[in-house]
């Protein structure tokens, strides 16, 4: 019995020793791990202006982080942006630091510099100093903002209309454009051989009147910003009032096409269904238009005046202030963002001008719809079609048939809802049907800007 107990005791002791040895070995191996931390800069950049904010991240999944430092070196000058030793007790394996670099405040000058990020972990390697990592990036200090020069002269623009702005920047700028009120219209090169000459169409929305500020701005790669006022003259407009009587017959005819889109349609009375379509679906459809018009080709696809639906009468005008009434009571108000043109049923619909199809599908209240990109932010839209004859990505020629008129979507009868946009801002199409307006506001400005660009005035 004593011999058995003695053997059991020695077995337990041996097991304990093995366990401790294993734990010690695991700890020893962990502490001697050889993988260095990983460091990242977000967003990556190659130029530093008057001020630059960025995030540095360090990560070590083995022994944890010991230290993290960030510095900028130019000549004999070293600017320490971060020097952090991490608490061992916390055992941090991942650290993110947002830093602000104000080059001017640190006495840095225009020219090359070196951004250095260093980190160490808590490994016992390198005589207990840990595994090091060093990341270095060549950057350029640039404290000079871009210089902007308007080449297209004074912008004369109608309320609800548009115009073309052309300007030169002294350097390439990843962000550049024109701001009208709160709306930004990004500019692009490509209209001229000089890549520093930028152009964009801009819009004055139907509800932006006199006093709307218009500025040209640019931000260079280093983050330096420039902004100048644009000389402009705004011609105010007043819009028509229009009353639409909603009948039970109209609701019965129109709502079945929207049942699948209306939440809890079966539980809603017809009028509530209509109001959801007229308000909420309208908003959702506009957000889709915003998405579709976010980018535009940097070439003018079109030429000459835009084509109007032939032999068509105007049934509703741009920016009509619509009041919806049901059984003698006002139920809603909306603004009509296009021109309604009525001809014979299923009339061929011509493309207003040369362009590229960016959308050819159903669009909620607009029914079957085609949207064309004409370049530099200019788009045209054709809605309530009974048939679509083109597909997304397809180039089309001026007057080419792209579909046929119809009554799909929220339409009371066969007609074409024709709209034009600069970006996602609807504009009055009437301007683009006028050769004289196009000459004064687009083609003559391009010619004048080209002459100015060549002489350097």
pLDDT values of the chain reduced to their tens digit, one per residue, 457 residues: 555 556 656 555 555 544 544 444 445 455 667 788 999 999 999 999 988 999 999 999 888 899 999 999 999 999 999 999 987 666 678 899 999 998 888 889 999 999 999 999 988 776 667 899 999 999 999 999 999 999 999 999 999 999 999 999 999 999 999 999 999 999 999 999 999 999 999 999 999 999 999 999 999 999 999 999 999 999 999 999 999 999 999 999 999 999 999 999 999 999 999 999 999 999 999 999 999 999 999 999 999 999 999 999 999 999 999 999 999 999 999 999 999 999 999 999 999 999 999 999 999 999 999 999 999 999 999 999 999 999 999 999 999 999 999 999 999 999 999 999 999 999 999 999 999 999 999 999 999 998 766 544 4
Looking at the fold, whether 289 and 368 belong to one and the same domain comes out as yes
Q: Are residues 211 and 255 in the same domain?
A: no
- pLDDT of res. 208: 98
Q: 280 with 213, same domain?
A: no
**Do 409 and 284 lie in a common domain?**
yes
Domain shared by 299 and 191, yes or no: no
Which domain CATH number covers 189?
A: 2.60.40.10
Q: Are residue 170 and residue 259 in the same domain, yes or no?
A: no
Check whether residue 250 and residue 390 sit in a common domain. Answer: yes
Q: Is the peptide bond before 22 cis (omega within 30 degrees of 0)?
A: no
> Which one, of 32, 231, 14, lies nearest residue 124 by Cα?
32
Is 340 among the domain residues? yes
pLDDT at 17: 47
Q: Which tokens hold the place of 94?
A: 């991942």
Check whether residue 110 and residue 153 sit in a common domain. Answer: no
Identify whether the C-beta of residue 49 lies closer than 8 Å to the C-beta of residue 223. Answer: yes
Q: Has residue 104 been placed in a domain?
A: yes
1, part of any domain? no
The CATH number of residue 413's host domain is 2.70.70.10
Q: What pTM value is reported for the model?
A: 0.86
**Do 246 and 324 belong together in one domain?**
yes
Distances (CA, A) of 16 to 9, 10, 13, 24, 426: 11, 10, 5, 12, 80
| pLDDT recorded at residue 451 | 72
388 by Cβ neighbours in 10 Å (0-12 / 13-18 / 19+) ranks as buried
Q: Is 258 inside any structural domain? A: yes
Q: How many helices (H) and strands (E) does the chain have?
A: 7, 31
Residue whose C-alpha is closest to residue 154's, from 440, 450, 438: 440
Q: What is the pLDDT of residue 21?
A: 45
Judging by DSSP bridges, how do beta strands 155-158 and 232-235 pair with one another? parallel
Are both 257 and 367 inside the same structural domain? yes
Q: What's the half-sphere exposure (Cβ side, CA atoms, 13 Å) at 89?
A: 0
Q: Are residues 250 and 232 in the same domain?
A: no
Residue-number span of the structural domain to which 214 is assigned: 148-237
Q: In sequence order, what E strands does 195-352 have?
A: 197-203, 214-219, 225-229, 232-235, 241-246, 313-316, 320-326, 329-336, 339-342, 348-350
The pLDDT value recorded for residue 2 is 53
Q: Give yes or no: residues 257 and 346 share one domain.
A: yes
């Amino acid at each position: 019995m004593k011999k058995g107990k003695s053997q059991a005791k020695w077995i337990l002791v041996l097991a304990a020793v093995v366990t401790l040895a294993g734990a010690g070995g695991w700890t020893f191996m962990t502490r001697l791990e050889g993988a260095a931390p990983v460091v990242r800069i977000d967003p990556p950049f190659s130029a530093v202006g008057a001020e630059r904010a960025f995030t540095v991240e360090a990560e070590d999944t083995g022994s944890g982080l010991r230290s993290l430092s960030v510095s900028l070196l130019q000549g004999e000058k070293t600017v320490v942006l971060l020097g952090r030793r991490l608490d061992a007790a916390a055992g941090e394996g991942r650290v993110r630091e947002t830093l602000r670099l104000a080059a001017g405040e640190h006495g840095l000058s225009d020219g090359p510099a070196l951004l250095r990020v260093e980190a160490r972990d808590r490994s016992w390697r390198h005589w207990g100093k840990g595994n090091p990592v060093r990341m270095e990036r060549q950057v350029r200090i640039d404290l000079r903002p871009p210089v902007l020069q308007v080449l297209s002269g004074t912008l004369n623009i109608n309320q609800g209309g548009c115009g073309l702005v052309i300007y030169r920047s002294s350097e390439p700028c990843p962000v550049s454009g024109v701001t009208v009120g709160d709306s930004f219209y990004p500019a692009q090169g490509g209209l001229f051989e000089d890549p520093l000459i930028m152009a964009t169409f801009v819009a004055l929305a139907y509800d932006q009147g006199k006093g709307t500020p218009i500025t040209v701005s640019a931000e260079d790669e280093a983050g330096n910003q420039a902004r100048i006022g644009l000389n402009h003259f705004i011609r105010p407009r007043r819009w028509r009032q229009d009353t639409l009587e909603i009948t039970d017959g109209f609701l019965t005819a129109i709502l079945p096409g929207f049942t699948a889109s209306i939440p809890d349609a079966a539980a809603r009375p017809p009028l509530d269904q209509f109001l959801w379509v007229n308000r909420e679906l309208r908003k959702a459809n506009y957000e889709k238009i915003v998405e579709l018009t976010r980018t535009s080709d940097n070439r003018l696809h079109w030429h000459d005046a835009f084509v109007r639906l032939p032999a068509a009468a105007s049934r509703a005008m741009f920016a009509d202030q619509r009041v919806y009434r049901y059984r003698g009571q006002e139920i809603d108000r909306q603004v009509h963002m296009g021109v309604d043109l009525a001809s014979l049923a299923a009339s061929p619909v011509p493309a207003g001008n040369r362009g590229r199809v960016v959308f050819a599908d159903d669009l909620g209240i607009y029914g079957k719809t085609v949207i064309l990109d004409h370049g530099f932010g200019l788009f045209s839209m054709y809605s309530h079609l009974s048939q679509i004859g083109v597909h997304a990505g397809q180039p089309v020629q001026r007057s080419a048939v792209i579909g046929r008129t119809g009554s799909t979507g929220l339409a009371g009868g066969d007609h074409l809802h024709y709209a034009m946009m600069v970006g996602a801002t609807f504009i009055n199409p009437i301007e683009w049907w006028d050769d004289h307006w196009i000459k004064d506001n687009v083609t003559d400005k391009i010619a004048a800007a080209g002459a100015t660009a060549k002489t350097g005035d």
